[in-house]
Amino acid sequence: MKVKILVLILSTFYVANAQKNQGIIGESNWFNGWTNFKPKAVVYPAANQIITGDIKENMTLTKNNTYLIVGSVHVASGVVLTIEPGTIIRGDYDTTGTLTVVKGAKLIANGSETDPIIFTSNKPASERKAGDWGGIILMGDAPISRLGGVASSFYEPNPLYSSFGGLNENSDSGVIRYTRIEFAGKKIDNKMALNALTLAGVGNKTKLEYIQISFCSDDSIEVVGGQVDFSNVISYRATDDDFDFSMGIQSTVSNTIAIRNPYCSDNTRSRCFEIDSYDKVENFDALKKKTFVKLNNVTLMNDEENSMGLVKEAISLKTDSFVEVNNCVIAGFSSFIAFDDRYLADDNFKKIKVYNTTVDSCTEVFTNETLNKDQNASNWFMQNEKLFAVTNVGINNLFKNNDVKRKPDFRLK
């Protein structure tokens, strides 16, 4: 009993004295003003404008209208779609309303803290649920680690608009800022669903910040190749992964949070981050960059029981993919990082970097894919020189306010 009490005291002392820069940060709570954790309760205006087919000339969507996306809407190459702050765009259920910004086109969705842009369901408030419409797809000509250097989108059936990838790291697909995406991720068939936001071969001039994605029935964000960064993103109650990275993506994710919930998980191994370099090794171009994701000030919070919830590992890391974790907080999982067997057999875990990070209330820290503790990896990361702490404080004591129903503030206490 004395040992347990001492561990708790030390854990509490560590969190209380942790550097202020761990987890999501900000002098004020940057959730305020533009987010909504109860979108099912909002009565949005009925759509008075329909968007369908191909957008072949520059277009601006204005705040004084409410728009309905019907079917697959394509922003053609060379065209810019601009959305004014405060504009509401609703996605049609029956036709799986989806907005695709093809390679060479741009989306300028630059909302504001007081006037966010909202993509949401077209159903009445009482009937909304995850998967009510398709989502947003951005495609660019940045490098992907695929033989031939280009690929076709799994989600876009029209071959005229499905190609992505190229040689342009500075590719610019536009801006998504102060934007909410709600109830997206409708299933295409029994095996595949759309994501709230899909980025394919998107380059580093694309700006993605202050984005809240809520109640997506698949991944909140899927990134396939490219070189693009994220800042101030909230993934809330995703059914599958919060972030899915593959095909050689080079990305830094900063000041971002994934909030898991037991009522929004599926049985296909949902994670906060799924990181790999290829779907099939025979498609991988060894001359291209392998997937590398850097997490700065990221909070991964699981509000499930470790032994009962469907979300087990915070991060799933596959062979030939790499992650660096800096100033992060991971709380409430069965495993912090689950490595695949090849990763563990080759001791590739020694290439992974974890700095100034707190892992709290997790059953294990480093495991294999079956969530059995890997002692070699654990011994490696727990060496004294690693700036890394394991605590057992609990989510109710870690954050200023983890109640999403009452103005949540996930900065550390």
Residue 5 has pLDDT above 60, yes or no: no
Amino acid at the residue 245: F
DSSP helix/strand/coil, 227: strand
Burial (Cβ within 10 Å: 0-12, 13-18, ≥19) of residue 350: exposed
Burial (Cβ within 10 Å: 0-12, 13-18, ≥19) of residue 4: exposed
Residue 304 has pLDDT above 80, yes or no: no
Residue 8 has pLDDT above 60, yes or no: no
- Output the pLDDT for position 309: 63
pLDDT average, residue stretch 63-72: 98
Burial (Cβ within 10 Å: 0-12, 13-18, ≥19) of residue 408: buried
More confident residue, 44 or 288: 44
245-264 pLDDT per residue, tens: 999 999 999 999 999 986 67
- Contact indicator for 284, 147 with CB cutoff of 8 Å: yes
Query: What pTM did the predictor assign?
Result: 0.93
**End-to-end Cα, the chain, rounded Å:** 27
Tokens of 241: 């992964």
| DSSP output for 106-162 | EEEEE--SSS-EEEEESS-GGG--TTSS-EEEEE--S--SBTTS-EE-SS---TTS-
Please list the residues that pair with 59 across neighbouring strands: 81
pLDDT average, residue stretch 277-289: 82
Residue 279 has pLDDT above 80, yes or no: no
- What percentage of residues in the chain have a pLDDT greater than 90? 72
Amino acid at the residue 250: Q
pLDDT average, residue stretch 48-56: 97
pLDDT average, residue stretch 284-295: 91
358-391 pLDDT per residue, tens: 999 999 999 999 999 999 988 888 775 556 789 9
Least confident piece of the model among 86-95, 231-240, 364-373 = 364-373
- Output the pLDDT for position 11: 46
CA distance 140 to 71: 22
- Output the pLDDT for position 349: 87
- Output the pLDDT for position 2: 40
Is residue 228 very low, low, confident or very high in pLDDT (cuts 50, 70, 90)? very high
- Output the pLDDT for position 247: 95
- Output the pLDDT for position 12: 46
- Contact indicator for 178, 208 with CB cutoff of 8 Å: no
173-211 pLDDT per residue, tens: 999 999 999 999 999 887 889 999 999 999 999 999 999
| DSSP output for 163-214 | EE--S-TT---EEEEEEEEES---BSSSS-B--SEEEEEE-TT-EEEEEEEE
Please list the residues that pair with 231 across neighbouring strands: 209, 254
Burial (Cβ within 10 Å: 0-12, 13-18, ≥19) of residue 45: exposed
Is residue 101 very low, low, confident or very high in pLDDT (cuts 50, 70, 90)? very high
- Output the pLDDT for position 19: 56
- Output the pLDDT for position 387: 64
23-40 pLDDT per residue, tens: 999 999 999 999 999 999
Tokens of 118: 């909202």
- Contact indicator for 187, 104 with CB cutoff of 8 Å: no
pLDDT average, residue stretch 330-336: 93
- What is the helix, strand, coil percentage profile of the chain, to 5? 10, 40, 50
- Contact indicator for 116, 140 with CB cutoff of 8 Å: no
How far does Cα 289 stand from its chain's mean position? 21
The secondary element (H helix, E strand) that includes residue 343 is: helix 341-345
- Output the pLDDT for position 20: 63
132-186 pLDDT per residue, tens: 999 999 999 999 998 889 999 888 878 889 999 999 999 999 999 999 999 999 9
Mean pLDDT of the chain: 90
